[in-house]
Amino acid sequence: MSVFHACDIRGIAGTELTYELAEKIAYAIGTKLSGQTVVVGGDIRLSTPRMQQIMMDGLARSGCEVINIGTVATPLFYFAQKITGATGGVMVTASHNPASYNGFKLVMGPKPVSEEDINEIARLTEQNARVEAVGSVRELSVIQDYIDYTVSKAKASGMKVVLDAGNGAASHIAPNLYRQLGFEVVELFCEADGTFPNRPPNPAVPENLSALSKKVLETGAFLGIAFDGDGDRVGFVDETGRAVDNDDILVLLAQNYLETQKGPIIYDAKCSMVVPEQISKAGGKPIMARAGHTFSKSAFIREKALFAGEISGHFFFSELGYDDGMFAGLKMCEYISTHGPLSVLIDEIPNYILTPEIRVRYTGTDKEAILAQIAQRLSDFKPNLIDGVRIEFDDGWAMIRASVTEPLFTLRFEAKSSERLNEISDILLNALPDNIRELVNSWNAKD
């Protein structure tokens, strides 16, 4: 499978993403950014140091002025872009993926990287494109500057919190940041280890937060905050030890902004309909974006939004201009410090019947043609095509979309009653081609 995806470059290090391929990618990026200033950082994965050195060497030999910010979490990479004014950037990370993966998050200019940008880098890589020019590499330490800057944007608190860094890149940053703001910090898995020995690096999966839940209860903390492998995603556990859905976190963070100002709030297409309902109720303007980091960020910038969020745990903040899991935790603490325990706030948010994602793998299928066929069959329902095919009603919705990273279709359904959920899901299922419907029925039978 290709390592070039809609939002970034990623694959199993050493097999899919080899060091030889990484060098070709470095020269391809250098071909695009020759003569420009480029920030390069890396996470704590075992393959990262070599990947990072390959990237810096290739960029410098392509005529780029490389700023090496060392081993950092991804929010610091965005911060470094901001303070240096660099045109480009490469963060060596596989984010929330398992330890065997690695990859590159790219910045190619003032706008978020697009599918077209990634496709061009893929084409240049295949062509072994390169330019020969003399560049440079200099080092810049940004950790303390990032902490000082983030502190200036947050509120101090004596609240007790458990920080679960999952042995990721936030391990040596988040505890210092929170302590500088006066928090009583209980550390959990805050020793950087690229093998991720204690839990998988994705905090959006509730099962991955079981140790955090226990630690919150054991210590009597107000909140548990978990970060992914590179610190730009976050998950939460309330004071009762319950893992909290990011749909609800998105609602609360949006309400935090909308108490003092009104404006657009971005949410992704996979969110519960509770999210836009509650944003509207609080006086905001809910705007749906295609699921995926760069798509949400593009909408966030385009709409000049106050805030943007995804159920994956990416949250974007107008104070910063980028997404930051560590800052998301601070904003959540800010809100519960004045509004009461997180468990109570969550219970006040309505809940509808929302299915998990139904993921069906396909082979030899033209996904765009399939989605176009489904959209045509559902034309009477005026489907929303922002992300796959989505049909919407006052009391529910259904969608099918193609994964941008795997040969998968994902489906999801929501309604305000079980009866209505069945009716809405049947509308979509009856519009599927027979082979895809059979895969969905097989998934349902196993589930």
Task: Write down the residue that tokens 């097989």 correspond to.
Answer: 442
Nearest CA among 237, 212, 246 for reference residue 341:
237
- SS3 for 88? strand
Query: What tokens were used for 38?
Result: 């480029």
For every residue of 347-361, DSSP letters joined together read HTS---EEPPPEEEE
Crossing angle (nearest 10°) for helices 115-126 and 19-33: 120
Residue among 34, 95, 298, 425 flagged as catalytic: 95
**C-beta separation of 287 from 265 below 8 A:** yes
Angle at 420 between CA 418 and CA 422, to 5 degrees: 70
SS3 341: coil
Separation CA 77–CA 395 (nearest Å): 42
User: Which of 356, 358, 353 has the alpha carbon at shortest distance from 414?
Assistant: 353
β-bridge pairing 389-393 and 396-402: antiparallel
Record the tokens describing residue 287, joined without a space: 């705007």
Six-digit token pair at 352? Answer: 């509808």
Placement of tokens 């910038």 in the chain: 301
**SS3 call for 362:** coil
Tokens 């590159």 belong to: 104
The tokens 């798509």 sit on which residue? 295
Kindly report the number of other CB atoms within 10 A of residue 128's CB atom.
9
The size of the chain, in residues, is 447
User: Residue 300 burial (CB < 10 Å; 0-12/13-18/19+)?
Assistant: buried
CA 121 to chain centre: 22
Does the active-site annotation cover 95? yes
Structural tokens at position 119: 């496709």
> Which residues are known catalytic residues?
95
